[in-house]
Chains A and B, each alone.
Chain A
Amino acid sequence: MSIRPMQEEDLPQVLSIEKASFSTPWGRWAFLAELKPPGYAFVYEERERVLGYAVLRIVRDEGHLMNLTVAPQWRKRGIGSDLLRFCIEFCLHRGVTSLWLEVRESNEAAISLYQKMGFVTKGRRKGYYQDTGEDALLMELSLRKKTVQEAKVEAVRSMGPLCILELSLKEAVYYEPGQFVMIEAPGRPLMRPLSIFDLEGKTLKLLLRPVGAGTRALVKVRTGETLRVLLPLGKGYPMPEGQKEAFLLAGGMGIASLFPLALKLSRKGIPVKLLWGARSSSWFPAPLLWQLTEGSVGLELVTEDGSMGKKGVVTEVLPKKWGTALIVYACGPKEMIKRILRIIPPHVKVYVSLEERMACGVGTCQACILSGRGGNKLVCRDGPVFEREEIGDPMS
């Protein structure tokens, strides 16, 4: 399956789905007009068959979802959500801050999908649909970059030395793997920066390891409590530009940001190999390994005590040869990142995610300094993901 821009040649298939779906379908000219900006049209295709499509209009920072249709016989298989998710991501990349749509008041299935993705009813257009005179609900998804929210704790799942904190947000937020949140640590004066492990609409998951005062306080929270979060922060991992294969290097908790990246790349059809190193086998919770394998991520594990996978650390089991078709993403302890940057030859594109103490997360406190080439950078604002060229080597 793939989602790609709609071409004129797709129109016969698109029009037949449109006719089968609506009593007042769009005509050929209506679609043709949306094939060029400000229109953006996409088809969901499987084995050269169009199963669904979406039409967007983007003017400055405002997007409008004009049409989202799945062929009647292919509904209830998640194709609509995939198309919608694709449109939301597309809007994010274009700097859209709010995405609007109209939906028939009686179309409960569509309304519930939109609500799940974070759309909120903002108004009503009286007699919008000419065939039945029905009202349309006007819904909006706010893609405004950063928000402070009270998040409700839904679950705290302990998995060996790691823990997954699941929270529900008041307002839906969209993100890129590599971005992070600042989260209140009960009873501590400062919020904690944590990578976004998973975030879909209003459900936020954070992977953490209770070692410091803040993370220990976080894993003790009870279901139903609320925690203040500021998100999404920083810059995420850029997608490959022409590279054919992705190689992800995770040292210990570095998996927190590389996990969603691995799944995202894999969904985009890019072959992903993930090398994950940790102290011992207890660091690799079965559900996470299963999710990665299920997502077609090629997984290689390495442990310091040899209790699972190869014995050693990530930097000891790296390949000897590095082709230019490869793109590398790394996240882990500073020492590992330093060594990786020395080992991987300069012709390979490498992105690393760095950690530093920070208080604000938005660039005001100036604590998370990185002395790199071309002056100081802030990990929270200019990172946490950096291209190797941006940082000095070796890092101080």
Chain B
Amino acid sequence: MTPCLETHIGSLRLKTPFMPASGTFGYGDEYTGIISYEPLGAIVTKSLSLEPKEGNPPPRIHELPCGMLNSIGLENIGIKRFLEERLPRLSELGLPVVVSIFGESEDEFMKVGESLKGVPAVSALEVNLSCPNVKRGGAAFGADPERVSFIIRELRERVDLPLWAKLPPDPFHILEIAEAAQKAGAHALTLVNTLPAMAIDIQKGRPVLGGTVGGLSGPALMPVALKMVYEVTEKLEIPVVAAGGISCWEDALAFLLAGASALQIGTALFSNPRVFSEIHEGVCRFMRERGVRRIEDLKGKAHEVEDRPL
């Protein structure tokens, strides 16, 4: 029995629930020839802004015992060059392309979104409302339910593509923010972005990262993200794409059982470029052993346990 890994994010059908997390997979084709793209259900690009962005000064990353900090600062080539130079190559991979978009202002979000309108090679937009490494836009938008609601609603009116709202890991307000995105018309939520964090070089007596603060990712974030996915899928009827420290097939299953419809893997790719294949194999093995035919049958199972005081 070959288990069926097909999953649905609204009307978008994916052959597997596995995809890279925005910002860890470049524009999408950098790993061709190095790893198999077979286990992937979609490609997610790094975040694109209207104009090219230079990003933050180095050092841009810092390793921690249980993850890493990054402060790239959304360096990217801009939406125009992406459409001209990178998207044609991406479409040849035969996978749905999810384009991550970013704006420093509401207006920039609209303009980037509009430039992707009617582009057949694009399957969905992930709206990055939560980058912790930029002064304007970023997490400041994502933490404010009204602005989330405004950006999603306006994009809905202008762009006919499915919208995934990528939200910050704010454990106290996640429900409120998620609900705002849902009501404004988001087709899915990506939970969660990196957690704002920093490191200090005690020898030099100053912050390690060139951008002072960065985003925490990797295993340290996993249980935090898991709780938010569980909480949001408990309350809201909206597909959730989980992201946050997923490093192995056990993590992947935990997020599926918590209610995620799809999974994004990022930091783990840096320590193990073959992580997608390994997760794919592990999840299939688990399903075969348990006689689970469709991965969608696992979705949200952890919510069905009774007699559990919350």
Query: Residues on A close to B: CB < 8 A?
Result: 144-148, 184, 188-191, 213-214, 228, 230, 356-360, 362-369, 371, 375-376, 396
Contact = CB atoms under 8 A, between A and B. Distances in A.
Contacts of A375: 54
Contacts of B25: 364
B61 to A, nearest CB: 4
Contacts of B46: 364, 366
Please classify how large the interface on chain B is, using the bins under 10, 10 to 19, 20 to 34, 35 or more.
35 or more
A148 B274 contact: yes
Interface stretch (B27-35, B86-94, B189-197, B281-289): B27-35
A158 B147 CA distance: 58
Interface of A is mostly: loop
A147 B274 CA distance: 10
A367 B214 CA distance: 12
Given A359-B68, A362-B34, A366-B75, A189 B61 contact: no
29 contacts: A148-B273, A148-B274, A184-B271, A188-B271, A189-B66, A189-B267, A189-B270, A189-B271, A190-B68, A228-B273, A356-B59, A358-B61, A359-B267, A360-B269, A362-B26, A363-B30, A364-B24, A365-B23, A365-B24, A365-B70, A367-B59, A367-B60, A367-B61, A367-B72, A368-B60, A369-B57, A369-B58, A369-B60, A376-B54
B218 A366 contact: no
Interface string B245-276: 00000000000000000000001011111100
A188 B23 CA distance: 21
Contacts of B70: 359, 365, 367
B142 interface: no
A360 B27 CA distance: 14
B200 interface: no
Contacts of A228: 271-274
Nearest to B75: A366
B162 interface: no
Interface in B55-101: 55, 57-68, 70, 72, 75
B54 A365 contact: no
Contact of B34 (A188, A230, A365): A230
A365 B270 contact: yes
B39 interface: no
Contacts of A365: 23-24, 61, 70, 72, 270
Contacts of A190: 61, 63, 68, 270-271
B103 interface: no
B219 interface: yes
A298 B267 CA distance: 45
A369 B72 CA distance: 9
A189 B62 CA distance: 10
Cβ-closest 3 pairs across A and B: A364-B26, A359-B270, A367-B61
Contacts of A359: 61, 68, 70, 267, 270
Given A190-B68, A369-B58, 17 more contacts: A145-B33, A148-B34, A189-B65, A189-B66, A189-B267, A189-B271, A190-B63, A190-B270, A360-B269, A364-B30, A365-B23, A365-B70, A366-B46, A366-B55, A367-B72, A371-B54, A376-B55
Nearest to A364: B26
A1 B65 CA distance: 53
Nearest to A381: B30
A366 B46 CA distance: 10
Chain B CB within 10 Å, residue with most, of A147, A190, A365: A365
A190 B65 CA distance: 10
Contacts of A356: 58-59
Chain A CB within 10 Å, residue with most, of B23, B57, B273: B273
Contacts of A213: 63
A146 B26 CA distance: 16
A368 B70 CA distance: 11
Contacts of B273: 148, 228, 230
A135 B231 CA distance: 66
Nearest to A228: B272
A367 B24 CA distance: 10
A144 B35 CA distance: 12
A191 B269 CA distance: 10
Contacts of B272: 184, 228
A92 to B, nearest CB: 15
Contacts of A146: 33-34
A148 B270 CA distance: 12
Contacts of B65: 189
Contacts of B67: 189
Interface string B42-61: 00001000000011011111
B41 to A, nearest CB: 18
A367 B34 contact: no
Contact of A189 (B24, B60, B72, B218): B218
B271 A191 contact: yes
Chain A CB within 10 Å, residue with most, of B63, B66, B267: B63
Contacts of B63: 188-190, 213-214
Nearest to B54: A376
A383 to B, nearest CB: 13
B31 A364 contact: yes
B66 A366 contact: no
Contacts of A357: 58-62
B54 to A, nearest CB: 6
Nearest to B27: A364
Nearest to B60: A367
A375 B269 CA distance: 27
B82 to A, nearest CB: 14
A338 to B, nearest CB: 15
